[in-house]
Amino acid sequence: MRDSFGRNIDYLRVSVTDRCNLRCLYCMPDGVKLKKRPEILSLEELVHICRAAVSCGVKKIKVSGGEPLLRRGLCAFIAALKNEAGADEVTLTTNGVLLEEHLPSLAKAGLNAVNVSLDALNPQIFIKTTGLGAAAGSAGFNNETLNRVVSAIFRAAGMGLNVKINCVPIEGLNESEIIPLSLLAEKTAVAVRFIELMPLGRASFYRGIPAKKVLQIINEACGPLTAFTGKLGNGPASYYSAPFWKGVIGVIPAMSRGFCETCNRLRLSADGVLSSCLSSGENVSLREELRKKPEGFGPEKEAAVKKIIQDVIYNKKAFNDFSPVYNGEKAENRKDKLMWKIGG
Ligand code: SAM
Ligand code: SF4
């Protein structure tokens, strides 16, 4: 379905949990208040919403979190998104810690691609960026965590799965990791992408490195980079190839360039809040509608959920704005737009 600005909204990001086994410095603080179990939608409820979204024109669904692989039943959920909800394409975004053991079941479920978030290959920087140092203390344990993520990336690529590695480069934290991470694309057919930090929650304490500077750093060390024009993914990334590399480099200039004019996405949080933009304070909950009496998901309820989805699509804003006051909404009203809550 098209929104009021003519954009085709065909991509839904679904968060299946607000829990996470990492505490990335710019994302999820320690001691956050998590939703209570009954507030979180069951996987069955999420499938109902996704089916309604597909009937509104959504074709691609990204499963995210928190850490989605912490949610029991995830592989069956992914299969249901394809077989019952009717999504053409289902992909997963994960921190990779629990990925390797799930890969065979994920592939069997029909997963089309996996994005692994990885901000550093250097163990000390990995421990720092993921908050593991403070939480676990033991360097041995944490090195093992990093090894598991890297091993999962190679195994997924080896299985022929479409793999993207996502890094958020931050000044004074992991800039030294831009080249080592980029080099993962030299011998392996993966896309290594650098995402500009968005000022949501605690991320506003850090300064992201702009895409242009990231490209300059990679170009100087590994170039010349040339624009890659093939089709890769559904998002706003620009891709580049380096001479003789099997994989590609991508940048997502979320802040410096923005991509609102071609934005095709909606987001659903694990407790059923549907949102059309990260920077707006709209909070449309589908949970109440879903849980109305009578129980079940009959045609009337389906029509009501579909109507809410259509309204959210229609009212999608023209562009994002992370300033303290936006369209009369105070940043305070947008405090729930945090990546670990809404799925990044
Ligand atoms: N836990 C999973 C993971 O890390 O991939 C899925 C959820 S996480 C919120 C999804 C993505 O959002 C990660 O790649 C993370 O780096 C990114 N992210 C979190 N906060 C961000 C911010 N403020 N700006 C840009 N990206 C952010
Ligand atoms: Fe967890 Fe992902 Fe946020 Fe890191 S980025 S704290 S792994 S939700």
* Residue-wise pLDDT tens digits, 190-209: 999 999 999 888 888 999 99
Is residue 57 predicted with pLDDT exceeding 80? Answer: yes
- Domain-located, residue 3: no
* Residue 263 neighbours by CB distance under 10 Å: 23
CA–centroid distance for 214 within its chain: 20
What is the arrangement of strands in the sheet containing 265-268, beginning at the earlier edge strand?
226-227, 238-241, 248-252, 191-195, 162-167, 113-117, 89-94, 60-64, 11-15, 265-268, 273-275, 284-285
- Domain-located, residue 5: no
pLDDT of residue 281: 65
**Per-residue pLDDT tens digits for 271-329:** 999 998 887 767 789 999 999 988 888 899 999 999 999 999 998 887 666 665 556 66
- Domain-located, residue 1: no
Mean pLDDT over all residues of the chain?
90
Considering only CA atoms, which of 49, 109, 59 is closest in space to residue 80? 109
**Per-residue pLDDT tens digits for 254-272:** 888 878 888 999 999 999 9
pLDDT of residue 176: 98
**From ligand 1's centre to the CA of 88, what distance in Å?**
24
pLDDT of residue 332: 60
List ligand 2's pocket residues with C-beta within 6 A.
Answer: 20, 22-24, 27-28, 65-67, 95, 117, 339-340
Question: DSSP code of 8?
Answer: B
- Domain-located, residue 4: no
- Domain-located, residue 6: no
The structure tokens 């597909």 sit at: 54
Separation CA 243–CA 228 (nearest Å): 11
Is residue 29 predicted with pLDDT exceeding 90? Answer: no
**From ligand 2's centre to the CA of 271, what distance in Å?**
17
Check: CB of residue 262 under 8 Å from CB of residue 11.
no
Mean pLDDT of 105-111: 98
Is residue 139 predicted with pLDDT exceeding 70? Answer: no
Cα angle for residues 140, 66, 40 (degrees, 5° grid): 135
Q: How many domains does the chain have?
A: 1
Mean pLDDT of 111-124: 97
Is residue 330 predicted with pLDDT exceeding 60? Answer: no
Pocket test for ligand 1, best of 28, 62, 93 (most atoms within 8 A of CB): 93
CATH number at residue 251: 3.20.20.70
Is residue 46 predicted with pLDDT exceeding 80? Answer: yes
**From ligand 1's centre to the CA of 62, what distance in Å?**
13
Instruction: Indicate the pTM of the whole model.
Output: 0.94
The answer, yes or no, to whether any atom of ligand 1 lies below 6 A from the CB of 117, is yes
Question: What H or E segment, with its residue span, contains residue 12?
Answer: strand 11-15
The token pair that represents 59 in the structure block: 């074709």
Give the CA diameter of the chain: 63
pLDDT of residue 294: 86
pLDDT of residue 307: 96
Q: Are β-strands 162-167 and 191-195 bridged in parallel, bridged antiparallel, or unpaired?
A: parallel
Check: CB of residue 61 under 8 Å from CB of residue 87.
yes
Separation CA 119–CA 170 (nearest Å): 9
- Domain-located, residue 233: yes
Q: Are β-strands 113-117 and 89-94 bridged in parallel, bridged antiparallel, or unpaired?
A: parallel
**Per-residue pLDDT tens digits for 213-256:** 999 999 999 989 999 877 776 678 999 999 899 999 999 998 88
The structure tokens 């992991």 sit at: 174
Q: Which domain holds residue 126?
A: 11-341
Least confident of 34-48, 93-107, 283-297, 329-343: 329-343
Which residue type, as a one-letter code, is found at position 116?
V
pLDDT of residue 138: 45
Residue 137 banded pLDDT, cuts 50, 70, 90: very low
Considering only CA atoms, which of 28, 8, 114 is closest in space to residue 64? 114
Q: Which atom of ligand 1 is nearest to the CA of 339?
A: 9
